[in-house]
Amino acid sequence: MGQKGYNEPRFATPVWTAFFARRFPVQFSPASPLGQRRPFRGDLAVKQPDGVRSLGVAEQMKLLLRGTADVIAPEELERKLELARREGRPLRVKYGADPTAPDLHLGHSVPIRKLKQFQDLGHHVIFIIGDFTGRIGDPTGRSLTRPQLTEEQVRANARTYEAQLYKILDRQKTEVVFNSSWLSPMNFADVVRLAAKYTVARMLERDEFSKRMAEGRPISIHELMYCLAQAYDSVAVKADLELGGTDQKFNLVMTRDIMREYGLEPQVVMTVPLLEGTDGQQKMSKSLGNYIGINEPPGEIYGKTMSIPDSLIIRYFELTTDVPLAEVRRLEAGMRDGSLNPRDAKMRLAREVAALYHGPAAAQAAEEEFRRVFQRGDLPGEMDEVVIAASELADGRIPPARLVTLAKLADSNSEARRLIQQGGVSLDGEIVKDDRAPVAVRSGQVLRVGKRRFARIVVGN
């Protein structure tokens, strides 16, 4: 598909591949925590003719366009799908993620679920873990230069990413590769040749860069190189299509130009919306505390979903569940005309999301527990016990912030004090009002933080 005249990179030649294979006989990337080691398969044809041919192009387009923000260009996607259907050759669909945090949340799930749709249609999914680019730092959405992570931090996060991927994707049909496989071997001459394929003027058209230039804030050279490195990922895997969030649009469109420079047919770009967090305002982010982790317990997923604003119910249905769009529209109409209570729609949403990652039985149990605790005011049937050593007490008392952190219901004393000052901490049903006045504790008391977190106290020796 448009690859005539492609100049193979120096380090992808058979000689270099043989050299690299001698140095790394199993895999060019960090070990998978799941015991799988997956070399990059390059041009290996993954034949799935029945899946690719199972639906007509119009039906595939209808499914794949659900929940997308931009497709560049839809006519190219349609043509590629038709060619794949006719020849039984699956499209190579790429998605890249820098492991800058250890856990995946519902915001990450939006593009990954779109990958699953391609996978279910028989197309070949390549999930690139940016262990190399993660050490550079993506400038997207940043008003300041992103701090660079160490190799150890990136690899630890990458292992967690890979383990969680298979809550959504099919393990046997997913090619997971690390972009250090092709970026680390590049020498300075390779980097210069790559940099020569794009201009600084074009790069500075990017919103983040142009704003920082106008405001006199620094832009580091390595941030410009990040965009080139991400683009080269698509060259290395010869992507037919790349998925990403709307904040990645510049990088993905730029990649089309870089692919042309290497004699490849440009990838189709498909972007999906950024999912707002539980606060209803900012993009879902673990650092902002407004996230719903896909690896969290079903009760936590259910409870956090119930905390989103009513205005986001339909958006979450569209982007994070498999509920058919026709049914979503009926739910939307019911809330609009008053025949459906938003609370009931939200409970359906919470059940759907919890079921995706823990199964229907666990989701139903989470709903019953939610009803019992939050609608009837009962205590949870099960809760963690926290042992408070007697040495922590003075005359049977302990500073409340210390109690909250020992119970692992806050990450720090400062966070615990903030929660107390906001009226979010209670002990045996009594709100703790003074964050500095020690409280009396005894075994059997229930410490509660916010609406969903509980711990039963046990005073030890």
The residues facing 384 across adjacent strands are: 455
The closest alpha carbon to 453, from 235, 234, 289, belongs to 289
Is pTM beyond 0.75? Reply is: no
pLDDT exceeds 80 at position 31:
no
* Comparison of pLDDT for 346 and 151, the residue scoring more: 346
**Whose CA is closest to 130, among 88, 168, 104, 161?**
161
Alpha-helical segments (H) within 166-237: 180-183, 188-195, 200-203, 207-214, 221-237
Would the CA dihedral through 334, 339, 345, 348 be positive or negative? negative
Query: Among 433, 432, 436, which Cα is nearest to 448's?
Result: 432
d(CA 29, CA 181): 6
Task: From 251, 253, 261, 255, select the one nearest 234 (Cα to Cα).
Answer: 255
Given CA atoms 230, 231, 234, 239 in this order, what sign does their dihedral have?
positive
Task: Work out whether the CA dihedral 275, 281, 283, 284 comes out positive or negative.
Answer: negative
- Residue 58 in tokens: 């119009």
Using one digit for the tens of pLDDT, what is the confidence trace for 105-133? 999 999 999 999 999 999 999 999 888 88
In the chain the first and final C-alpha atoms are separated, in Å, by 72
For 10, which DSSP code?
G
Measured distance CA(224)–CA(32) in Å, rounded? 30
Architecture of domain 298-375: Orthogonal Bundle (1.10)
pLDDT at 408 over 50: yes
The pLDDT of residue 99 is 76
- State how far the Cα of 54 lies from the Cα of 56, in Å rounded to an integer: 7
pLDDT at 61 over 90: yes
Q: C-alpha angle with apex 286: 285 to 290, nearest 5 degrees?
A: 65
Q: Looking at the structure, give the CATH architecture of the domain made up of residues 10-272.
A: 3-Layer(aba) Sandwich (3.40)
DSSP run (H or E) holding 430:
strand 430-431
Neighbours of 95 (CB within 10 A): 20
CATH of domain 384-460: 3.10.290.10
Question: Which residues sit opposite 176 in a β-bridge?
Answer: 127
Q: Which is more confidently placed, 148 or 460?
A: 460
What are the boundaries of each domain within the chain?
Answer: 10-272, 298-375, 384-460
The full DSSP string for 120-139 is: HTTPEEEEEE-TTHHHH---
Q: What pLDDT score was predicted for residue 377? A: 58
Dump pLDDT digits (tens) for 221-237.
878 888 899 999 999 99
According to DSSP, the β-strands at 241-245 and 174-178 are unpaired
Average pLDDT for residues 387-398, to the nearest whole number?
A: 87
Residue 385: count other Cβ atoms within 10 Å of its Cβ: 11
